[in-house]
């Protein structure tokens, strides 16, 4: 084994070690909970307009299935190197320090960028429940208003999760478990109620473009919405002493499979319960579709909307929290390895958390929150490329590790083929967004956001 996590042997070791309190269930809810947020409520219309009913469904099923080899690679790497550094540790074992930093910085973006996304989304959901909150407009960005009540709610949630993660991983994990299983329970209830009133006639059109283009346009955003399974590795150092390493593998695969089933189910349900093409201009199309299925004025329709919004809020909380955990651990690892200011790599003496990194992520999320709704779709695009780059680097590291360090990683011919396939998938998913001739490629706004992040990383690197 290339990496051995060691038990703290005295008080000095204890205060310099992350708390070891996570169990198998915690890792599943971290992986799946980090993956599934509120995109299924907030931008369902974008998915269906990209691909149509069948195109969106196939896009998530195919795109998700393509991630299984990448999940397998991560399982092998986490078992070999249970390090909070994740991709930073994997790449540093075989590549240069510069490559390791670039990979870690991009994956930090993939997780961090979800945090302001969820903080903005909670304000939108609150405004839908209480329309009076869509008031006191402060300013506009890209033509979209930023309301004071939305900012207050987003900042309050950001503050809550910052405190939660600052004070201990056990608190964070318990919060993650309750919100994850609560989301699944409410999801099963409202899908069962809605589908019983749907019709196959509602699902047309099956595709919004040609079948291939429709599916590709959805696959392009799958990396962003399926990012999270690899967050398991970022909390690997916090496993309880009796935790079995192979459970990392199972948690990653279960997160991917549950993610595929969840996204495919919600797309199919929305397209089935109502004529979706007529509803794409509606705010929170998913809720409107189910309300339409039960009759917009019936008592049952109001209940189903409340169930959907409750599920969305729970899902938002767990996704925000999971990505907060992963982003703070990666930033902590960058500091611990001296790739950015080493003070970011400190551990709180009492709570045994990466407290400084947690505060950085909380403050950065609060700052980005002021950009408002305008960040939602561009964030999706940039996040997809960031995680595809990280996945590719992890697969390349696994293959290189087996070649140059057979004492650390041994792969059979079939396993090497899986690794190469995962690498090809990661590269293809990144290229789909950056090649100008590809449908759905980056616009100037996405390039600007990515350029700002790269410039910020360069600055951190130079000032360390």
Q: pLDDT tens digits for 45-86?
A: 889 999 899 999 999 999 999 999 999 999 999 988 888 888
For 30, residues 6+ apart whose C-beta sits below 8 A from its C-beta are: 22, 173, 176, 231, 232, 235, 251, 322, 325, 326
pLDDT digits (tens, 9 = 90+) for 24-56: 999 999 999 999 888 888 888 889 999 899 999
Interval 169-189: pLDDT, tens:
898 999 999 999 999 999 998
Contact between 125 and 376 (Cβ < 8 Å): no
- Name the nearest CA neighbour of 329 among 180, 158, 111: 111
Q: Does domain 11-463 have CATH number 1.20.1740.10?
A: yes
C-alpha distances in angstroms, 110 versus 19, 106, 223, 463? 25, 6, 10, 23
Which of 4 and 385 is assigned the larger pLDDT? 385
What pLDDT, in 10s, does the model give residues 406-463?
A: 777 888 899 999 999 999 999 988 888 788 877 667 788 788 888 888 888 888 888 7
Confidence of residue 194 (pLDDT cuts 50, 70, 90): confident
Mean pLDDT for 148-152 is 92
For the chain, domain boundaries: 11-463
pLDDT band at 4 (very low <50, low <70, confident <90, very high): very low
**356: nearest Cα among 119, 77, 162:** 162
pLDDT band at 380 (very low <50, low <70, confident <90, very high): low
pLDDT at 344 over 60: yes
Tokens of 463: 């000032």
**Which pLDDT does position 377 carry in this prediction?**
61
Task: Please write down the HEC assignment for all residues of the chain.
Answer: CCCCCCCCCCHHHHHCCCCCCECHHHHHHHHHHHHCCCHHHHCHHHHHHHHHHHHHHHHHHHHHHHCHHHHHHHHHHHHHCCCCCCHHHHHHCCCCHHHHHHHHHHHHHHHHCHHHHHHHHHHHHHHHHCHHHCCCEEEEECCEEEEHHHHHHHHHHHHHHHHHHHHCHHHHHHHHHHHHHHHHHHHHHHHHHHHCCCCHHHHCCCCCCCHHHHHHHHHCCHHHHHCCHHHHHHHHHHECCCCCCHHHHHHHHHHHHHHHHHHHHHHHHHHHHCCHHHHCCCCCHHHHHHHHHHCCCCHHHHHHHHHHHHHHHHHHHHHHHHHHHHHHHHHHHHHHCCCCCHHHHCCCCCCCCCHHHHHHHHHHHHHHHCCHHHHHHHHHHHHHHHHHHHHHHHHHHHHHHHHHCCCCCCCCHHHHHHHHHHHHHHHHHHHHHHCCCCCCCCCHHHHHHHHHHHHHHHHHHHHC
Q: What is the pTM of this model?
A: 0.87
- pLDDT bin (cut points 50, 70, 90) of residue 144 is confident
């Amino acid at each position: 084994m290339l990496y051995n996590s060691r038990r703290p042997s005295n008080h000095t070791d204890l205060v310099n070690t992350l708390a070891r309190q996570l169990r198998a269930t915690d890792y599943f809810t971290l992986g799946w909970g980090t993956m599934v947020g509120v995109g299924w409520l907030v931008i369902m219309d974008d998915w269906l307009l990209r691909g149509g009913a069948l195109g969106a469904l196939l896009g998530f099923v195919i795109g998700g299935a393509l991630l299984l080899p990448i999940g397998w690679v991560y399982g092998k790497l986490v078992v070999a190197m249970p390090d909070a550094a994740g991709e930073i540790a994997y790449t540093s074992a075989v590549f240069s320090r510069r490559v390791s930093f670039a990979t870690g910085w991009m994956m930090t973006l993939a997780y961090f960028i979800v945090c302001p996304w969820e903080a903005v989304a909670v304000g939108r959901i609150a405004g839908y429940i209480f329309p009076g909150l869509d008031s006191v407009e402060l300013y506009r960005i890209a033509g979209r208003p930023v309301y004071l009540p939305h900012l207050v709610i987003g900042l309050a949630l950001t503050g809550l999760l910052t405190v939660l993660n600052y004070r201990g991983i056990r608190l964070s994990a318990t919060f993650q478990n309750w919100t994850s299983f609560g989301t699944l329970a409410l999801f099963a209830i409202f899908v069962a109620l809605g589908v019983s009133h749907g019709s196959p006639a509602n699902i047309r059109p099956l595709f919004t473009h040609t079948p291939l283009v429709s599916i590709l346009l959805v696959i392009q955003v799958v990396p962003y919405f399926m990012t999270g399974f690899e967050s398991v590795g970022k909390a690997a150092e916090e496993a309880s002493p009796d935790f079995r390493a192979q459970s990392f593998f199972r948690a990653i695969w279960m997160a991917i499979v549950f993610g595929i089933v969840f996204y495919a189910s919600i797309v199919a349900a929305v397209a089935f319960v109502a004529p979706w093409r007529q509803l794409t201009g509606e705010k929170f199309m998913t809720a409107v579709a189910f309300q339409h299925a039960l009759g917009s004025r019936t008592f049952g329709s109001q209940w189903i909307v409340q169930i959907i919004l409750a599920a969305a809020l729970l899902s938002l909380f767990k996704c925000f929290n999971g990505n907060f955990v992963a982003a703070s651990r990666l930033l902590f690892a960058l500091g611990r390895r001296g790739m950015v200011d080493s003070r970011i790599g400190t551990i709180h003496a009492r709570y045994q958390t990466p407290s400084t990194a947690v505060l950085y992520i909380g403050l950065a999320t609060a700052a980005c929150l002021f950009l408002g709704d305008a960040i939602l779709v561009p964030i999706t695009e940039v996040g997809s490329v960031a995680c595809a780059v990280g996945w590719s680097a992890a697969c390349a590291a696994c293959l290189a590790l087996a070649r140059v360090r057979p004492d650390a990683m041994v792969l059979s011919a079939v396993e090497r083929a899986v690794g190469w396939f995962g690498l090809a998938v990661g590269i293809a998913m990144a290229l789909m967004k950056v090649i100008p001739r590809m449908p759905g490629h980056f616009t100037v706004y996405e390039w600007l956001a990515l350029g700002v992040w790269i410039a910020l990383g360069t600055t951190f690197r130079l000032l360390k």
